[in-house]
Chain A
Amino acid sequence: MSSCGAPAQTATLPANIDPGKEVVLSGRVLSSGAPVGGAFVRLLDSDGEFTAEVVSSEGGDFRFFAAPGSWTVRALHRSGNGEVSVSADGPGLHTLEVAVS
């Protein structure tokens, strides 16, 4: 049984994922333009309710598989926090950048 733990975050999509069928929110956490690894990246729904959380990779990468709708991606790091909003009307790959300061 695979668990609910967040997998390692990578910049490229796993081979079994078809972005034509899923809403994929993918991006990087940045601080003054430099990638921030080890940030806690939280996906919040349109009511601001928590939906999922992953830890950004060394290159600052993160990824969520969501449903169509409005989402906020919020990053927490000891150097600071930041967030960005995205509206996903349907399946597809949405690329985001979250600046923390």
Chain B
Amino acid sequence: MSRENVLVSAEWAEQNLDAEGVVFVEVDEDTAAYDTGHIPGAIKIDWKQDLQDPVRRDFVDREGFEKLLSAKGISNDNTVILYGGNNNWFAAYAYWYFKLYGHADVKLLDGGRKKWELDGRPLDKDDVQRTGTSYSAAEPDTSLRAFRREVEDSIGKKNYVDVRSPDEFSGKLAAPAHLPQEQAQRPGHIPGALNVPWSKAANEDGTFKKDEELRELYKAEGLDESKATIAYCRIGERSSHTWFVLRELLGYSDVKNYDGSWTEYGSLVGVPIELGAGKK
């Protein structure tokens, strides 16, 4: 896997805003940012409304994904460029969905909205309409997604990369520091997990660090390259960012995102939990 196949720079994006077959998609949990100004021509996908099942804790099924993309005017042969706020978490999460459902050509905008705004690149408020399509999705590729049974069964056998902040990992905090802390589940981490916060893979402006730096980072933290890897966080967004780094940028073959993450694992009865700082 090479970086050019999965990532585009802000510069490239600005030069290709009107390119044939290229669709820019802003993905956020809260689309208020999109409404105050978006990349010219970009459509929006609402992480919560569009990508989550409204009743069960799961994401949209194959049929729902087909319906969504058809309505948004995205074709199977389009090059989809995803970007968003929150350092591209939701865009990375959407990227993972696009891969799960077999979209051939999907990329992230390096640095997302942040880099674009810090560069002072153009944003507009134009209403963007695309003609509907008839999108066809593949069966979800479960080799990219970990479920709780596998997570319980693989302790000690696979790499676990816990991408939350050190205080969440150790059990000091139950949620990221920009959120209130009251939570139902027990704090801590999966025994043996490495704590490599997602943010270590990114520069201050939201772009990804260089491949060599990234490879060195995970190696130094104790990632065993001969083993399969499961990435998790609190609910699976921040870990999508790290899943993207490990599988798409660094090319490790067996990397799954555990989107149940800590809000599921930390609520399970009887599973082992480790407290305290990470070991190297």
Contacts and interface: CB of A to CB of B under 8 A. Distances in A.
B-side interface mostly: loop
B179 A76 contact: no
A64 B175 CA distance: 11
Interface stretch (B12-20, B116-124, B138-146): B116-124
A67 B29 contact: no
Given A3-B235, A4-B179, A4-B234, A53 B117 contact: no
Contacts of B180: 14, 16-17, 22, 65
A54 B85 CA distance: 10
B65 interface: no
Interface string A1-12: 111111110000
Contacts of B87: 53
Contacts of A6: 85-86, 178
A8 B28 CA distance: 13
Contacts of B120: 78
B179 A65 contact: yes
Contacts of A45: 165-167
Interface stretch (B2-10, B150-158, B197-205, B219-227): B197-205
B47 A65 contact: no
A4 B233 contact: yes
A8 B166 contact: no
A45 B52 CA distance: 33
Contact of A8 (B32, B182, B237): B32
15 contacts: A3-B29, A3-B235, A4-B238, A5-B86, A6-B178, A16-B182, A38-B117, A49-B166, A50-B200, A52-B165, A53-B87, A55-B33, A64-B178, A76-B118, A76-B204
Interface of B: 28-30, 32-33, 47-48, 52, 57, 85-87, 89-90, 114, 117-120, 165-167, 172-173, 175-182, 197, 199-200, 204-205, 233-235, 237-238, 263
Interface of A: 1-8, 14, 16-17, 22, 38, 40, 42-43, 45, 49-55, 63-67, 76-78
